[in-house]
Amino acid sequence: MKVLVVGGGGREHALAWKLAQSSKVQAVYVAPGNGGTALDARLENINITDIPALRDWAIAEKIALTVVGPEQPLAAGIVDEFRAHGLRVFGPTQAAAQLESSKAFSKAFMKRHGIPTADYETFTDAVAAHAYVDEKGAPIVVKADGLAAGKGVVVALTLHEAHEAIEFMLAPSPDFNPLGVQHNAGGARVVIEEFLQGEEASFIIMCDGKNVTALATSQDHKRLLDGDQGPNTGGMGAYSPAPVVTPDVHARAMREIIMPTIRGMEKDGIPFTGFLYAGLMIDAQGKCKTLEFNCRMGDPETQPIMLRLKSDLFDVMMAATSGKLDQVELEWDRRVALGVVMAAHGYPLNPRKGDLITGLPPLHAVDPSVPEDVVVFHAGTASSQGDVKGVVSSGGRVLCVTALASSVKEAQHRAYEAAQAIHFDGAQYRKDIGYRAIKP
């Protein structure tokens, strides 16, 4: 069978890498892919990103299954388009993808269905937004409505920061960007919400519209710098499992957040199919609130999660696109997987491209002496010569060096050992990925 993975980040490299391991899969195409998917002989990059063109290509190539990685094509309706032409695709429809693509939609949905989340108000008028912030005080959180690749959120510790964020998001001008917020066109509306305290975890499930299967738990590190300092990013590293998600917290998240969401979407006439990612804030008592929904896998969470998945991902996806997820029991490696993101100079604001990457290990498939339990997933890379020597950076997050080991400490050690052998000018990476899971 032929499989298509849509996207070109580290998440898509990990999904494609895993799908290629299935004995039922003859070819995995990645559109557009990256330098890492170009180097792996089991994968093939397809340079098409336009949805109708990709649909026509998938029909012509008799693609048996399409898996969509990023939020943009989902929000643009790729699933609706593929399904309308009889193609099997795993992901939410455009209507269901609003759980991520519109914060205003997802907050109203949560309110309507009694799903725990931070108190909030939505504003289009800057004067009213400023007045609300003055009334509520700081700390307070200001979020642009619309997709902003995890960078449209300002956790304002002072009133001044909150006012500046509102000013920028509601009255944007190219010259006024005091906070360095990544603004996009969706930001003409802001959600202002209560600041929540606790520990975050990524709670990701698969749904076929009705049945739900939880993936292994994980935790991301959103801030650029060690100790969770510096600006928010798309994610600087992740590990799985996340000890903060105890069996009790897991049961509570399923009962209070995931199932009411899936049933709520059914009730509202927009059943959810695909990966659903609830960003949880877990307080000291183990109570969870939903920080956000994503209608896709997390990046970089996917990289450690795929390293731990023992089940055949192709079989799982076929079940998930046939309404048969109730017949699937996912099998996980009991070990810990941990991924360290190596980002480009200037990330997240102005990532530099074109830096030559040296020290990449050969692929295990090419050189079996290379350990199987350390995998360098590529994200913003391009390969010019068809081998690991000709890879250059081409985006903000460049690589995710991921290792599997019997403890968090050991996985951390192995991932950093591999990361230290890799070099490109201006490379930035956190030195403390996994610190919350390591007991002092």
- Selection from 55, 53, 37, 57 nearest residue 45 by Cα: 37
Q: Given strand 190-194, what is the order of strands in its sheet?
A: 120-123, 190-194, 140-144, 153-156
- Selection from 352, 356, 334, 331 nearest residue 343 by Cα: 352
For ligand AMP, the closer of residues 71 and 292 by Cβ is: 292
For ligand AMP, the closer of residues 30 and 142 by Cβ is: 142
Residue 101 sits in the site that holds ligand AMP (CB under 6 A): no
Q: Which of residues 288-327 bind ligand AMP (CB under 6 A)?
A: 291-292
Q: Which of residues 278-297 bind ligand GLY (CB under 6 A)?
A: 294
Residue 80 sits in the site that holds ligand GLY (CB under 6 A): no
**In this structure, are residues 305 and 216 in contact, taking their beta carbons and an 8 Å threshold?**
yes
For ligand AMP, the closer of residues 136 and 210 by Cβ is: 136
For ligand GLY, the closer of residues 128 and 149 by Cβ is: 149
Among 298, 348, 380, 396, which residue interacts with ligand GLY (rule: CB under 6 A)? 298
Q: How far is residue 118's CA from residue 103's CA, in Å, rounded to a whole number?
A: 12
Q: How far is residue 71's CA from residue 146's CA, in Å, rounded to a whole number?
A: 11
**In this structure, are residues 21 and 83 in contact, taking their beta carbons and an 8 Å threshold?**
no
Q: Which of residues 196-225 bind ligand AMP (CB under 6 A)?
A: 196, 200, 222
Binding mask 140-179 for ligand AMP (x = CB under 6 A): -x-x------x--x-x------------------------
Helix axis angle for 259-267 and 103-112, nearest 10°, is 100
Q: For the chain, give the number of residues.
A: 440
Residue 150 sits in the site that holds ligand GLY (CB under 6 A): yes
Q: Work out what residue 299 binds among ligand AMP, ligand GLY, none; the CB cut-off runs from 5 to 8 Å by kind.
A: ligand GLY
Smallest gap from residue 155 Cβ to ligand GLY (A): 15
- The residue assigned the tokens 């030195």 is 431
Residues 6+ apart with CB under 8 A from 101: 71, 74, 75, 146, 147, 186, 295
Binding mask 187-226 for ligand GLY (x = CB under 6 A): ---------------------------------x------
Q: Which two tokens stand for residue 213?
A: 């299967």
Residue 299 sits in the site that holds ligand GLY (CB under 6 A): yes
Under the rule (CB under 6 A), what is the footprint of ligand GLY?
150, 220, 235, 294, 298-299, 301
